[in-house]
Chains A and B, each alone.
Chain A
Amino acid sequence: MDVEANTLFNGTMMSRRAFTKLTALGTAAALGGISNVSAYPTKFVDELVEPASAIPVDVERTVYSVCEVCPFRCGIKVTCNGGVVKTIEGNPKEPHSNGKLCARGNSAEQVIYNPDRVKYPLIRTGERGAGGWKRASWGEALDYTAGKLKEIEAKYGPESIALIQFPNLMTPLLSRFQKALGTPNFFSSLGTCKISRVVADMKTLGAHIGNAIDYKNAKYIMLFGRNTFETPANCSVQALSAAITKGAKLVYLDPRFTVTASKADEWIPIKPGTDLAFVLAMMNVIIREGLYDEEFLTKYTYGFEELKGFIGGYTPEWAEGVTGVPSEQIERIAVEFATTKPAVAHPNWHPKGYESETQISRGILILNALVGNINKPGGIFYLRGVKLGDIKPPAYPEITAKRVDGIPDKYPLVPASHGLWQLLPDAIINEDPYPVKGLIVYRSNPLHGMPNRHRVIEAFKKLDLLVAIDILPSDTAWYADVILPECTYLERYEPPMVIAGKSPKVALRQPCVEPMYESKHSFWIFKELAQRMGIGNYFDFELDDYINARLSPLGIDKDYFKDHEIWSSGISPELKGLAGMKIKTPTGKIEIYSKTLEANGFDPLPTFEPPKEAPGGMFRLLHGHIAVHTHANPATFDNAYLNEICSENELWINTDTAGVLGITNGEYVWVENELSKGKIKAKVTEQIRPDAVFMLHGFGHTSPDLKLAYGKGLNDGDFIKAGADPIGGVCPMDETFVRIYREG
């Protein structure tokens, strides 16, 4: 057997080269071989499913498509030959990548050729979570799923079926399924991500602007915990690097010395949870010194006079006591920020630390407004999009049931299109306000991504049906009753992706090779389920029709992308300020003083709320990301290339703190709080504040079928309680305290 096959038969990976050689040897035997050696239970063994011949296999082809190793979705240029993906690069015409891919995007072959992929439908046999499966045909799996869903619907009503998805290009079609089903309970993972930032943007600027920051033209950049260089935002990474190279000053606030901190001119290890105090003190200085952009504020904002009255008490001296940053430093940075043009502050992306996250983000947005740098070069800007078409669905059934997460009664400002998934487990366990008995999870891993895993398992155990639609046997899939294997992004078309920005563009995900094994397109899965559920009339079309309907307002169809790398709107990327723009807030202006917040009984101005203090002997547990991994998505953790670089997380602990606790670098230590207890390798370092500890998010996978990721590292979520910012809804995950101690 040749070398490549050896690596294959060690069960470590299936390289593309191995796959190519084995296809030459006779794929049926080879695939059987994989299943055996990778120690799958024998039920996982599959015979070859001959690919249909829609995609030419024997010629070298280049396909322009869209990445999905992480949700940033860069444009990709894939070469394939012999029905195998050969190389992958960025699409130079697509602005998320500018022709350059990060480590994740480059690891594509370890997603498609991952031997851990779910190869055919599986139905659970033993106890939930015990790992007993029987192989099912698609017909059997779909009948089983639809049958169970119908039983639940008949017994408890359609509202007792909830759906969870990671936001993706198929979201509108899953949402169509949900609305046709007549359940209000549709969730994304934003409740533990950026939901409060979305709400802050909407209520302050009238639109969510995401990462729309013109770094390249900025001369002074402030990042409040926005660790840009270790995020998925490929084009922001490139732009920030370019700005630094051009000489922009970077001021970075974070309790941890991240990669971004290491590139900053000034790193401020601010006391966790006090960023807003810093921001308010900056505003205090800017207003006191008259350094604000009066013309901009008068013309385009509402509530500056109220802010003037409000800001008086938030002096730099006050902020020094709260943040631990010397008042002179705050004062100097405020003056630099207001006098260096253009200066910009990132309103944060992943504000999931505290109950006051909406107000923290609003504070930073208002800081940008004070210097008038909105929709101008070097500032934050409004995204320009493209309106796509649709296939109009038949009228949906009326949904009378309330959502189980308290939207809108308890959380009037949180968009129901995302919901607060972190509140779902409690709703299931307490049957409050009614039983949720069926859960469909699509391209998401709530067991790992939601806080408090033990509670999530408890909730899963109360379900009558848990369906996982995924490419990998995720932790959630491991607990499912049925796993429906989707094909990977390199094997499918998807609805077009609008790349909103200064000059909007549209890209299309196109298949590079045929789906492997028995994996199927999720559109087909939704459609088949819909038919069995009696709502097939909502899916009375093929995916191609849908793609073409989406594209029709642009005057193109899907074949356009056969010989075009991208569709460009041709809109000038120039940023021309706010003149003539319609701002979608109640006052038609940028709302420093939020009318909507006021009307809903919230503070209309961003009052500072101090974070909770760590109880004696405990440390604040912070979490975050590294560039090679994303979220709780096993596609990066259970990926041979990325796992080789970072296979396990460590507990960052300050050298002095470790000294007091007698902890040495590299030893395994206990982390414990009222929710969980676990061991993790200590990284004793100078790169974190003494009062906080940190671990990378996304480790500690519990599905034994994730051969590379299983059992490596610790899951930060195990220690985090579910909760919600009353305004924007995000789970306050940095209000988590743990004890750290050595063995024995």
Chain B
Amino acid sequence: MYKFLFDIDRCINCRACEVACKQQNDVEMGVRWRRVSEIEGGKYPNPSREFLSLACFHCARPPCITACPVKAIYKRADGIVINDESRCIGCGYCSWACPFGAPTLGSDGLMQKCIACYPRIDKGLDPACVHTCLTGALAFDTPAEIAKIQGERATEKVVISP
């Protein structure tokens, strides 16, 4: 079982993860499997900026799988959630069901989403986004390892891992 960890405290909005995802998975223009967004707050001279790098969370109980009428989405034994494009009918239910809107329609009318770079995982590598993250804000590992990282970083502000 694998899951993503994203550490908001470390993310610097550099977008390396986003572009690494696109080039390694050949994601078409206009679709982003991983996307970094910014949340601005505060008032001058005490403003704040936070950055969120989000992709599919490969949920433990994925609502997208429940929503899909043709069972195109499935979870691998290692926890990675994948959409089988050969079964997908492009109805968009998974995208509505997903709390994060992770599945996105491609220009072919079919759904696509983060596959946690499973071809890399199968070779014993980490996902492209994690591999390139300049600050260690992203990790992809077993819940036990993720819990360990969270423990080590307990002094830092916020650590997100749904």
With a cutoff of 8 Å between Cβ atoms, the chain B residues found around residue A642 in the complex are 19
CB <8 Å contact, A640 and B29: yes
Question: What CA separation (Å) do A12 and B153 show in the bound complex?
Answer: 42
Instruction: Return the chain B residue nearest A685 by Cβ.
Output: B40
Asked if B44 and A100 make an inter-chain contact with CB atoms under 8 angstroms apart, the answer reads no
Min Cβ gap B24→A in Å is 5
The residue of chain A having its C-beta at the shortest distance from the C-beta of B156 within the complex is A245
Determine the chain A residues whose CB is within 8 A of the CB of B131 once the complex forms: 89, 99-100
**Closest beta carbon of chain A to B143's beta carbon, Å:** 22
CB distance from A585 to the nearest CB of B (A): 36
Q: Which of A105-113, A192-200, A439-447 contacts B (4 or more CB under 8 A)?
A: A105-113
Which one of B60-68, B75-83, B133-141 contacts A? Answer: B133-141
Which parts of A630-646 form the interface with B (CB within 8 Å)? 640-642, 644-645
Complex Cα gap A81–B133 (Å): 25
* Least CB distance, A174 to chain B, in whole angstroms: 31
Q: Nearest CB to that of A267 among chain B residues? A: B45
Q: How far is the CA of A104 from the CA of B14 in the complex (A)?
A: 9
Selected interface stretch from A183-191, A234-242, A556-564 = A234-242
A645 to B32, CA, bound (A): 10
Cβ of B155 to closest chain A Cβ, rounded Å: 8
Report chain A residues within 8 Å CB of B51: 259
CB-based contact A238/B18 at 8 Å: no
- Is A13 at the interface (CB under 8 A from chain B)? yes
**Which of the residues B19, B32, B136 comes within 8 Å of A106, measured between beta carbons?**
B19
- With beta carbons under 8 angstroms apart, the residue of A3, A102, A257, A641 that contacts B47 is A257
* Chain A 603-630 interface 0/1 with B at a Cβ cutoff of 8 Å (1 = within): 0000000000000000000000001100
* Contact A262:B14 (CB < 8 A) given known A15-B26, A89-B131, A106-B132: no
> Is A742 part of the binding interface, using a Cβ–Cβ cutoff of 8 Å?
no
Q: Is the CB of A108 within 8 A of B12?
A: no
Q: Do A106 and B16 form a contact, CB below 8 Å, given A100-B131, A686-B44? A: yes
A163 to chain B, nearest CB (A): 33
**Per-position binary interface string of chain B over residues 125-162, scored 1 when its CB falls under 8 Å from any chain A CB and 0 otherwise:** 00010011111100000000000000001011000000
Q: Which chain A residues border B22 with CB–CB below 8 Å? A: 106, 641
Most B-side CB within 10 Å, residue of A87, A104, A685, A688: A87
One digit per residue, 1 when the CB lies within 8 angstroms of any chain B CB and 0 when it does not, for chain A 667-696 equals 000000000000000000111111000000
Complex partner residue of A100 from B30, B32, B47, B132, CB under 8 angstroms: B132
Complex interface residues of chain A between 81 and 112 (CB less than 8 A to chain B): 87-90, 99-109
Residue numbers in A under 8 Å from B12 (CB-CB): 229, 237, 241, 259, 263, 627
Q: Is A339 in contact with chain B by the CB < 8 A criterion? A: no
Q: Are A654 and B44 interface neighbours, CB within 8 A? A: yes
Asked if B122 is at the interface of the complex by the 8 Å CB criterion, the answer is no
Question: Does B124 lie at the interface of the complex (its beta carbon under 8 Å from any beta carbon of A)?
Answer: no
In the complex, A245 Cα to B135 Cα: how many Å?
9
Which residues of B sit under 8 angstroms from A645, Cβ to Cβ? 15, 18-19
The reply to whether A103 and B135 contact each other, CB–CB distance below 8 Å, is no
Q: Are B134 and A107 in contact (CB under 8 A)?
A: no
Knowing A89-B132, A103-B18, the reply to whether A241 touches B10 (Cβ < 8 A) is: yes
**Interface membership of A402, Cβ < 8 A:** no
The distance from the CB of A284 to the nearest CB of chain B, in whole angstroms, is 24
User: Can you list, as one digit per residue, whether each of A248-290 has a CB less than 8 Å from chain B (1) or not (0)?
Assistant: 0000000001010011000101000000000000000000000
Total chain B interface residues with beta-carbon distance under 8 A: 40
Knowing A7-B107, A241-B135, the reply to whether A687 touches B29 (Cβ < 8 A) is no
B81 to chain A, nearest CB (A): 23
| B100-138 interface bits toward A, Cβ cutoff 8 Å, 1 = contact, 0 = none | 000000111000000000000000000010011111100
Q: Given that A108-B23, A234-B134, A686-B47 are known contacts, is A7 also in contact with B15, CB under 8 Å in the complex?
A: no
With contacts A100-B134, A627-B15 taken as known, whether A269 is within 8 angstroms of B45 at the C-beta atoms is: yes
Q: Are A6 and B107 in contact (CB under 8 A)?
A: yes
Assembled-state Cα–Cα distance A254/B107 (Å): 43
Chain A residues in 8 Å Cβ range of B30: 644
Question: What's the least CB distance linking B87 to chain A, in Å?
Answer: 18
Q: Are A101 and B47 in contact (CB under 8 A)?
A: no
Question: Chain B nearest CB: distance from A383 CB in Å?
Answer: 22
Does A208 sit within 8 A of B, measured CB to CB?
A: no
Q: In angstroms, how far is the closest chain A Cβ from the Cβ of B108?
A: 5
Name the A residues within 8 Å of B40 (CB-CB). 685-687
Please tell me if the beta carbons of B28 and A687 are within 8 angstroms of each other in the complex: no
> Counting CB contacts under 8 A, is B48 at the interface?
yes
Which of A16, A90, A101, A687 sits near B49, CB closer than 8 Å? A687
User: What B residues does A12 contact at CB under 8 A?
Assistant: 29
Is A103 in contact with B15, judged by CB distance below 8 angstroms? yes
Known: A627-B14, A686-B42. A107 touches B19 (CB 8 A): yes
Tell me whether A17 is interfacial, beta carbon within 8 Å: yes
CA distance A690 to B47 in the complex (A): 13
Q: A262, B23: Cβ atoms under 8 Å?
A: no
Residues in A whose Cβ lies below 8 Å from that of B132: 89-90, 100-102, 106
Tell me the minimal C-beta distance from A647 to chain B in angstroms.
12
B24 pairs with A87, CB closer than 8 A: yes
A315 within 8 A of B: no
Contact B28 A7 (CB under 8 A): yes
The smallest C-beta distance from A256 to any residue of chain B, in angstroms, reads 10
Q: Measured between alpha carbons, how far is A106 from B13 in the docked complex, in Å? A: 15
B20 at the interface (CB under 8 A from A): yes
Q: Which of A241, A655, A687 contacts B134 (CB 8 A)?
A: A241
Interface string of B1-23 (1 = CB under 8 A from A): 00000000010111110111011
B14 touches A16 (CB 8 A): no
Shortest Cβ distance from residue A470 to the other chain B in the assembled complex, whole angstroms: 23
Return chain B residues, CB-CB under 8 Å to A689: 44
CA A644 to CA B27, docked complex, whole Å: 12
Q: Which 3 A-B pairs have the closest CB atoms?
A: A106-B19, A241-B135, A103-B15
Q: List 27 A-B contacts (CB under 8 A).
A: A3-B28, A6-B107, A7-B28, A7-B29, A90-B132, A100-B134, A103-B15, A105-B16, A106-B16, A106-B19, A229-B14, A237-B12, A237-B14, A237-B134, A238-B134, A241-B135, A245-B153, A262-B50, A645-B15, A645-B19, A654-B44, A655-B43, A655-B44, A656-B44, A686-B42, A686-B47, A688-B44
**Given A628-B14, A685-B40: 8 more A-B contacts, CB < 8 Å:** A4-B28, A89-B128, A103-B16, A103-B19, A229-B13, A259-B13, A269-B45, A641-B23
Q: Which residues of B approach A to under 8 Å, CB–CB?
A: 10, 12-16, 18-20, 22-24, 26, 28-30, 32, 40, 42-45, 47-51, 106-108, 128, 131-136, 153, 155-156
